[in-house]
Structure 1
Amino acid sequence: MSRVWIYLFPALCALVLTGVHQVEGMELFTSSELEAVNGTDVWLKCTFKSTHPLSEERVSVSWSFRPLGKTTEETFFHYQKSAFPPETGMFKGHAVWSGDIMRGDASITLQNVQFIFNGTYCCQVKNPPDIQGFVGEISLRVVEKVSFSEIGILAIAVGGSIGIVLLILIIYIVVRVFRRQEGDMVVEMENHKSKDQVL
C-alpha cells in the first residue's frame, strides 16, 4: 500500500496544481449608463484586471451590441494584437479603438452616434489562462441635439414670460399706490371739511 502511495502522490499533486490555478476570473469595470447627443462622439470605457501578465499576443477583446427591446447580441468589434473595426453594418466607420491593452484598457469610441445606437454594449476580455468572470455592460442613450435656434426660441419664450409677469406686477403695484393716495386725499378732504364746519 505504501509503495502505491509513493507512486500516486506526485501524480495527484501535479493534477491538483495544474487543475486549480489555471482557471481564474477576469475583473471588468464599465460605466453602467451613458448619455450622448446625436451626432457627437462617445467613449465606451472598459478597463480590466487580470491575475496573469498582460501581452498583446494573448489578450483579446470583443465588443457586442444588443439593441433596445432585443435579447440577442451581435459582435461588431474585435481586438487582438491590432484592432478589427466593423467593415459592414451600422457601426462601419463609427467604432474606433481607444484602449491600451498593457494598461488594462479595452475601451472603444463611437463616432457620430445615431439614434439607432441606443442599446446595451457588452465588453468581453480574455487573457488565457484567465477566463472572463463578468461581462461589462454599458447602456447607451442617444438624445436629440439642441440647436442654437431652438435655444434662442426657448430664451425668448422664457424672457417674454418673465417680462409679462414683471409688467403685471408693476401695474398692480402702481394701481395700489394710486388707490392708497386717492384714499388718503379723500380722508384729508373730509378732515378739512369737518374743521371748516367746526369753525
Structure 2
Amino acid sequence: MHTDPEVIMQNGTTGTLRCTFKSSEVVSSFTSVTWSFQSSQPDTQFFNTPHTIFYFSNGKGFPGPTEFKDRVQFIGDINKRDVSIQLSPTQFSDTGTFFCDVKNPPDVTGTPARTELRVVES
C-alpha cells in the first residue's frame, strides 16, 4: 500500500487522501478497503486509537461515524488498485493520522499505509 506521507489541506476545502495498493491477486468482490483515523488532539473520541471512518466491500462503501459520514467519499477505482478518498469540507479536527488498509484475499497481509494530515488556516 502506498500513500503520501504528509498532506496539508486548508480548512473548509475539499482534499484527497490518496492510497494505492499492489497485489498479485485479481481484485474481486471479496476485496475490502478500510480507512481509519487517529486524532492528534486529546479532546476527541478519536485520540489514541484509530477508528474506522470508511469501509468498502463488495462494490459498496459504508460510511463510518457521524463526524465523517457525510464528508468522506470514495473516489478511487478499486480495479485500478486505487482506493483514494475525498474529505469535504476539511476541518481542523481532521488533523491526525489516516490509515489505509486493503485486503485482497488470499492476499491479506501487509501493514496499513499512513498519511499525516495537517489542516491549516485558509
Write the mapping of 1:16-95 to structure 2, written as runs, cut at 5 A. Answer: 28-55=1-28, 57-68=29-40, 70-80=47-57, 81-86=59-64, 88-95=65-72
SS for the counterpart of 1:132 is coil
1:135 aligned residue (109, 112, 115): 112
Are residue 98 (structure 1) and residue 72 (structure 2) matched? no
The structure having more radius of gyration, on CA atoms, is 1
TM-score by length of 1: 0.56
Q: Could you report, residue by residue, the CA deviation over 1:71-112 in whole angstroms, capped at 9, with x for unpaired residues?
A: 2110010001211123x4211211001011100011100011
Instruction: Decide which structure has greater helix share.
Output: 1
Name the amino acid aligned to 2:67: M
Runs of 5+ in structure 2 lacking a partner?
42-46
Q: Could you report, residue by residue, the CA deviation over 1:27-81 in whole angstroms, capped at 9, with x for unpaired residues?
A: x0100000000000110000001011112x1110000000005321100100012
TM-score by length of 2: 0.90
Instruction: Decide which structure has greater strand share.
Output: 2
Aligned equivalents of 1:130 and 1:45: distance in 2?
21
Aligned equivalents of 1:77 and 1:114: distance in 2?
17
- Contact kept, 8 Å, 1:123 with 1:135, in 2: the verdict is yes
Runs of 4+ in 1 over 3 A off after TM superposition: none
Runs of 5+ in structure 1 lacking a partner?
1-27, 146-199
Aligned equivalents of 1:71 and 1:32: distance in 2?
19
Greater RCO between the two (CA within 8 Å, min separation 6)? 2
